[in-house]
Structure 1
Amino acid sequence: MTHDHDLVLRPTEAQTAAALNPPPGRNGGDVVVETLSGLGATTVFGLPGQHALGMFDALRRSSLTYVGLRMENNAGFAADAYGRITGEAAPLLLSTGPGALMSLAALQEAAAASAPVLAIGSQVPVAGLGGGRHGYLHELRDQQASFRDIVKSVHTVRTQSQIPSAIAAAWESALTAPHGPVWVEIPQDVLLAETSLPVVTAMDATPEDIAPRPELTAVAADLLSRAARPLIIAGGGVVRSDASGKLRALAERIQAPVVTTFGGKGAFPWEHPLSLQSWLEDRHTTDFLEDADVLLVVGSGLGELSSNYHTFKPRGRVIQIEADAGKLESNHPALGIHADARLGLQALLETVSPREDASAPERVAEVLSRVRSRIAAQDLALEQDVVASVRAALPDDSPSFWDMTILAYWAWSAFDARHPNTMHSAQGAGGLGYAFPAALGAASADPTRPVLAVSGDGGAMYSIAELATAKQYGLPVTWLIVDDGGYGILREYMTDAFGEATATDLTRPDFVALASSFGVPAVRTTPETLTEDLKQALSSDGPSVVVLPALLRMFEPTHL
């Protein structure tokens, strides 16, 4: 009996002829880039190094677009954003030792945010593998051990014939829900040696979907149908699985208010009558969530930020749909459903009974009114005006990327992300320097729409070198730098905790002059002119910088 897939695997005459007569002048690096192309990659990020030159030399013989950043960690942030925006695995090419290790903070963020990054690093020659000390430049005793605690999977190649299978396995791992970074390492001599292997053609590394168990979704649907006060917490998994439409349909069918986590911004319409928005650091929101008799958590592990710093104590029944099995019931007992958010929501939509609750929008409006009153009592008009100015200037469908800075902390709660997958920050791992290189990665994915990056002056200094990258590739990224003369949020934390701050005031450059020296247009703005200056910058071709000197304060969160 002949099966369809047997026919698919049988080569054509042309494929056989091509395989038997590979073109001359190819090396192991060509096998790498051919495999990436065969898997569907179109863009790669990275930074060359001595051991990795075989891969980079092969790029000029391929159709792949290369975006080179000035530091490996920034290249990792760019790949992270490319993966978030496209949903595709973003190749990241690195060299051995120092070059590889410089990417670790970026890969930690990708892991925390479930961004599919396919990191491919070189290694010392095969003879040096195995943990010895052979004196090779860049040598580590066990390079992959440095990545194993961060990435989803590690793949080591020792021969050229192993390259396609190893990269395909890593690709599938990166795109299996929950998405995440993976690590492949290939020895220098394997990359440089001439190869007689056939040219790699189309490859299939499609991951299996994680479908929910029907007996669990049946119980969940029954609980939601009979609930008196159902509520939904929507996390980043809803955005990553493109399930915002199903989320809205379910919420409307059972009249359940929805709050989005900081990673789930845009998963539910901000001004919807059932939208609690994202005020998770407010006790009024926390109290409302605790009062639910059935709480559906979709695509969130209810970690520190999503649980109001672990002060959230649900009193009702919790249902958790989560693709990361390790996050199921990790913080609260629940009916745990291991599934992709989209498939889980679809199963509930097919089985839940509609319920009427005319009071739900009224209760939501009351909570938001209390939140607004609390913020209004804190004399924070400047901060709210700046958030509103950024929102007014940014096109609704333009992505924005936010560093760990006071304005970003405001945006987590107060910014209206008007479409799914348009607001991203480094709140997964919390490292500095994310916003600008990430925005460059997003612009590489879609250069037809402007992209906004938001940093403080402290975080901006991590990424200044990438102004050269932005200029070199003409990427349409506007970088808003809020200059408060230091690490503003740390200054607040230390002053509150110890009475005064230490090591938080910084000497910084004239950012306008510095950007101009790279050939990047820059302007110094004010809170009053911010909207107009941002609009003009976002509408111009190529990169731009807008500097806002301002001392912003964080609103006072309430945990108790």
Structure 2
Amino acid sequence: MSESPHAPADAVSTVDPESQRNGGDLVIETLEALGASKVFGIPGQHALGLFDALSRSKLEFISSRVENNAAFAADGFARATNEVGVLFLSTGPGALTSLAGLQEAYATGVPVVVVASQIPTEGIGARRKGMLHQLDDQKLSAANVTKSQRLVQHASGIPSAIQDAWTDAISTPQGPVWVEVPQNVLLDPTIVPRVEDALAEPFDNPPRVELVREAVAWLAGSKRPAIVAGGGVRRGHAEASLLSIAEKLGAPVICSPGGNGAFPWEHELSLQSWIEDRHTTEVLEDADVLIAIGTSLGEVTSNYFSLEPRGRLIQIDAEPRVLESNRPGLGMRADAGQALAALDEALTPEALEGHAADWHGRSPQEVVADTLKKVEERLDGQDLAMERRFMADIREAVPDTMQTFWDMTISAYWAWSCWDSRGGEFHSAQGAGGLGYGFPAAIGAAAGLGERVFAVAGDGSAMYSIAELATAKQHNLPVTWLIVDDGGYGILREYMEGAFGKATATELARPDFKALAESFGIPAEKTTPEGVGEALKRAFAAEGPNVVVVEALIRLFAPTHL
């Protein structure tokens, strides 16, 4: 998509790399000085100067096959390593193809620095010469899916632009940022000295003192506090503070899909992640003070907007547009890590003197145990034995510390509620909800971690990222990809059958995934739901990439927000 069979005369520089440097070198030098180690993307005509400079650097380039998947890979790298993902894009079609992947990073708060090429400066916004890949305003196209956008028109501005963009990316709320550099700026010789150091420090985002004081007063006077932990808790590395606060208050804690792993699964105060269950929703509604930390209380986390809290709400988030967007309350704009640390410090024994949790004569531990029992009984009442065994077998097979990446598929919808992430990180595409996330994100993670990771997709979502089998093979990345093949878009099939009594346009022709993987030189195994655990164990013990295919119709549990 980003290549042309005929390059214009100015597409290739005659600069001697041994004696002259160009704008592309400034980009690479700045990224190296900021600590980048990996770059994801696809070469393109206007970006040739950038990629030529890459050849002279220590940066490792992971070459994807589709720009959208390269964006997912940079996202997965950032989530898995807690570093900044770096994405190189070509102009026009290549840049636009990345946007759905960047939407996921933007919605979830993942730091990615995008460096996109541009047509030569003389043609920007002018429609001159009928230039290939030309857009009226390329960076405007990225405005909906990135925190900030910059156009660099002179080589001397490259280091500062990238340094500022990196600062934006790592400052809460974190997210992807966009820098574009015209073709001629990348290619032309420069007198700008070699970049020797670059410093990007995140902007501080602590909570306001008076808001902490007010929140402590509310909590000290509460009898039934409860906590919803979102993805911001994980991004803010606030797990220890969350645990301390929950235990001080005796507050039940439930994790959203993005917050999965923020609170110990088996803790006596843990409602786990059964966020789409009426029984857990009722506990949150009954709380006299509900803390929502690092979550917008959006569609899924509010159990599809059925949550109607009767008590007071304390909402903490680094993104000010999130605060009180769905519920009125005490809004606190702050990084989750700093906010929970401040609350934990302020919730002293003196401040909590006289506080005792009392849920209508029951302890919070009793409420949690009883609620989880009701969840279990509800599932027992549905014909879901195969699905529950399937998810349990996958969980048993996956090593405790292995990171997992889930596409928008029925197995992921189950995992949002039932997956105990243990010592591994749980990642899914619930932010924007686009298809094709799991496998390319896992590729990015494997490249960054240098260890095996696990990806899950359905047959529909797998086709979005199937080309990245070539990437996994080329770089020999240790990714195990589980494809659950039910012959169509399973989630949409269930939704349509439930709403209309029949499904339309959900059934799909698809390849023999095992044979297709093997055609790339990647080992693959086809198995049944009953054999998935053992098949995965064999895959995890192997070297390099591999694929496990299960042909099965996995059904969702019944809606519980009605």
Gaps of 5+ in 1: 1-21
* Residue 131 of structure 1, CA deviation: 4.6
* Residue 87 of structure 1, CA deviation: 2.3
Amino acid at match of 2:69: N
Gaps of 5+ in 2: 1-16
Secondary structure of residue in 2 paired with 1:471: helix
| Contact in 2 for aligned 1:151/1:183 (Cα 8 Å) | yes
Q: Distance in 2 between matches of 1:499 and 1:212?
A: 50
Secondary structure of residue in 2 paired with 1:321: strand
2:83 — aligned with what?
88
Secondary structure of residue in 2 paired with 1:412: helix
2:24 — aligned with what?
29
* Residue 527 of structure 1, CA deviation: 1.8
1:41 — aligned with what?
36
Amino acid at match of 1:440: I
Residue pairs, 1:282-431, within 5 angstroms: 282-352=277-347, 353-354=351-352, 355-357=355-357, 359-419=363-423, 422-431=425-434
Q: Distance in 1 between matches of 2:500 and 2:218?
A: 48
* Residue 23 of structure 1, CA deviation: 6.2
| Contact in 1 for aligned 2:125/2:135 (Cα 8 Å) | no
Corresponding residue to 1:140 among 118, 135, 138: 135
Deviation digits for residues 422-481 of structure 1, max 9, x if unmatched?
111111101100000000001011013x10000000110111111111111111100000
Secondary structure of residue in 2 paired with 1:337: strand
Amino acid at match of 1:483: D
Amino acid at match of 1:299: G
Deviation digits for residues 51-101 of structure 1, max 9, x if unmatched?
001111111111111111011000000001111122222110000000000
Secondary structure of residue in 2 paired with 1:169: helix
Residue pairs, 1:444-455, within 5 angstroms: 444-448=447-451, 450-455=452-457
Secondary structure of residue in 2 paired with 1:277: coil
Amino acid at match of 2:244: A
Amino acid at match of 1:430: G
Secondary structure of residue in 2 paired with 1:148: coil
Deviation digits for residues 482-525 of structure 1, max 9, x if unmatched?
00011111111111112211111111111111111111110011
Q: Distance in 2 between matches of 1:453 and 1:142?
A: 36
Corresponding residue to 1:149 among 117, 130, 144: 144
1:13 — aligned with what?
none
Secondary structure of residue in 2 paired with 1:305: coil
1:16 — aligned with what?
none
1:504 — aligned with what?
506
Q: Distance in 1 between matches of 2:169 and 2:395?
A: 33
* Residue 356 of structure 1, CA deviation: 4.2
* Residue 328 of structure 1, CA deviation: 0.9
Deviation digits for residues 326-366 of structure 1, max 9, x if unmatched?
10111111111111101111111111145444711110011
1:121 and 2:116 equivalent? yes
| Contact in 2 for aligned 1:78/1:437 (Cα 8 Å) | yes
1:478 — aligned with what?
480
Secondary structure of residue in 1 paired with 2:142: helix
| Contact in 2 for aligned 1:133/1:141 (Cα 8 Å) | no
Secondary structure of residue in 2 paired with 1:375: helix
Secondary structure of residue in 2 paired with 1:516: helix
| Contact in 1 for aligned 2:216/2:346 (Cα 8 Å) | yes
Amino acid at match of 1:156: L
Deviation digits for residues 126-153 of structure 1, max 9, x if unmatched?
1011353441110001111111122100
Deviating runs (4+, > 2 A) in structure 1?
130-134, 353-358
Q: Distance in 1 between matches of 2:291 and 2:206?
A: 17
1:255 — aligned with what?
250
Secondary structure of residue in 2 paired with 1:295: strand
| Contact in 1 for aligned 2:127/2:134 (Cα 8 Å) | no
* Residue 555 of structure 1, CA deviation: 0.5
Q: Distance in 1 between matches of 2:550 and 2:204?
A: 45
Q: Distance in 1 between matches of 2:204 and 2:547?
A: 42
Amino acid at match of 1:446: L
Over 3 Å counting, the alpha-carbon distance change for 1:131 and 1:370 in structure 2 is: farther
Q: Distance in 1 between matches of 2:19 and 2:493?
A: 61
- Percentage of matched positions with identical amino acids: 58
| Contact in 2 for aligned 1:131/1:142 (Cα 8 Å) | no
1:185 — aligned with what?
180
Q: TM-score, normalised by structure 1?
A: 0.94
* Residue 25 of structure 1, CA deviation: 3.0
Q: Distance in 2 between matches of 1:131 and 1:220?
A: 54
* Residue 249 of structure 1, CA deviation: 1.0
1:68 and 2:63 equivalent? yes
Q: Distance in 1 between matches of 2:203 and 2:487?
A: 49
1:197 and 2:192 equivalent? yes
Secondary structure of residue in 1 paired with 2:543: coil
Deviation digits for residues 515-548 of structure 1, max 9, x if unmatched?
1111111001112221111011012111010001
Corresponding residue to 1:231 among 217, 226, 231: 226
* Residue 419 of structure 1, CA deviation: 3.2
Amino acid at match of 2:335: D
Q: Distance in 1 between matches of 2:346 and 2:23?
A: 52
Secondary structure of residue in 1 paired with 2:535: helix
Amino acid at match of 1:364: V
Amino acid at match of 2:189: E
Corresponding residue to 1:442 among 430, 436, 445: 445
1:163 and 2:167 equivalent? no
Q: Distance in 2 between matches of 1:437 and 1:180?
A: 18
Deviation digits for residues 195-246 of structure 1, max 9, x if unmatched?
2211001111111220011111011112112210000000000001111111
Deviation digits for residues 260-316 of structure 1, max 9, x if unmatched?
001100000111100001111111111110000001111111111110111111110
Amino acid at match of 2:185: V
Deviation digits for residues 96-133 of structure 1, max 9, x if unmatched?
00000000000000001101111110001010113534
Amino acid at match of 1:272: H
Q: Distance in 1 between matches of 2:316 and 2:282?
A: 22
Secondary structure of residue in 2 paired with 1:369: helix
| Contact in 1 for aligned 2:490/2:506 (Cα 8 Å) | yes
Number of equivalences: 537
Q: Distance in 2 between matches of 1:179 and 1:363?
A: 35
Secondary structure of residue in 2 paired with 1:73: helix
| Contact in 1 for aligned 2:393/2:532 (Cα 8 Å) | yes
What is the RMSD of the two structures over their aligned residues, measured on CA atoms? Answer: 1.2
Q: Distance in 1 between matches of 2:287 and 2:426?
A: 28
